[in-house]
Amino acid sequence: MTAQVSSKGTSSMDATQNDVLAEVRNHIGHLTLNRPAGLNALTLDMVRNLQRQLDAWAQDSDIHAVVLRGAGEKAFCAGGDIRSLYDSFKSGDTLHEDFFVEEYALDLTIHHYRKPVLALMDGFVLGGGMGLVQGADLRVVTEKSRLAMPEVGIGYFPDVGGSYFLPRIPGELGIYLGVSGVQIRAADALYCGLADWYLDSEKLTALDEKLDQLEWRDTPLKDLQGLLAKLAVQHLPDAPLEVLRPAIDHFFALPDVPSIVEQLREVTIPDGREWAITTADLLESRSPLAMGVTLEMLRRGRHLSLEDCFALELHLDRQWFERGDLIEGVRALLIDKDKRPRWNPPTLQALDAEHVASFFTGLDESGN
């Protein structure tokens, strides 16, 4: 458990290694996800510790801002600890139910936090990691950043607010990212609006030093923005998604996933055929049900408030362990590791629109 910290220069580091480290320096609360061997994947205890610390700092006038980061050199956060959720469901426990309720509440806290939050997105930022950073005011990527909502690959859907932030990316780029689960790098993250600043990873230490020396003059957000403006940039050249945007906007606006794949396979233009076939092959390796539900969820989310998007995701969660493909996806990819998931239905051709629609029954007009 992480102790609540408020006094300058103190830390909550126990003799034993904590999964969340909290420290205050120069009126800034630093939170570090500290499971580097597990790519800082989130457990329920970590979610609760982060929530407890943020709640405490929100009430502490000595804290002007919060910094989020991940320990180690590989990841900010590679998502939720999905193996523990699988084990919970298989054993008849309720951990998997509690986890999503509390994780979404934490993500919502960050979206609405009244003090600026700076997220250092070095390394992998996947799934639950994206949920933590997309509510932050200042999102920094590096050359090592790899962002994705890869849930369809394990038979799940992009949650943690993905139904809100993905469809608000210009055009159909967010639909593409959610339905395909592809990873993007720094230039694309900036282009899509999933990040605000780029900084070489070797300069993160210098950023820390300058945060420790920062003189608070204006509002905390403006002070932090001024500091980042001296070290980082907000645009990078050669974003691959910028080139692909016309094609993505065309294909991922089609009515359903089978139509998307069918038309991708019909591309004959030499410049676009390789990407189209690669994308079609990728989609056909994903869970058909997860992609179908994801497409519907994202299109609904485009017109919902943030709170209603989280309510929509919880509505799907409550059905998904029983009716969705997640348990089979985790079995194939993480438990047995045969990498041959038996999706239900097994193909896009067998995907029934009424079955997809059934996951959304019981929602009122606002999405709840």
**Which one of the listed residues 70, 123, 128, 181 is annotated catalytic?**
128
> Taking the alpha carbons of 95, 291, 364, 362 in that order, is the dihedral positive or negative?
negative
Q: For 312, how many CA atoms within 13 A lie in the half-sphere containing its CB?
A: 28
For residue 151, indicate whether it is catalytic. yes
- Cβ within 8 Å of residue 323, ≥6 positions away: 359
For residue 155, indicate whether it is catalytic. no
* Cα gap 157→292, rounded to integer Å: 9
30 φ/ψ angles, rounded to the nearest 5 degrees: -100, 125
Are 120 and 204 in contact, with CB atoms under 8 Å apart? yes
**Which one of the listed residues 19, 107, 151, 196 is annotated catalytic?**
151
**Which one of the listed residues 159, 223, 296, 325 is annotated catalytic?**
159
253 φ/ψ angles, rounded to the nearest 5 degrees: -100, 0
What is the token pair recorded at 341? 């998931």
* Cα gap 214→134, rounded to integer Å: 25
* Cα gap 28→117, rounded to integer Å: 10
For residue 159, indicate whether it is catalytic. yes
Q: Classify residue 207 by burial, with Cβ atoms within 10 Å: 0-12, 13-18, 19+.
A: buried
Whole-number Cα distances in Å, 270 to 266, 267, 274:
12, 8, 7
**Which one of the listed residues 80, 161, 162, 367 is annotated catalytic?**
80
In single-letter form, the type of residue at position 211 comes to L
For residue 296, indicate whether it is catalytic. no
Angle at 226 between CA 220 and CA 232, to 5 degrees: 125
Q: Which residues belong to the active site?
A: 80, 128, 151, 159
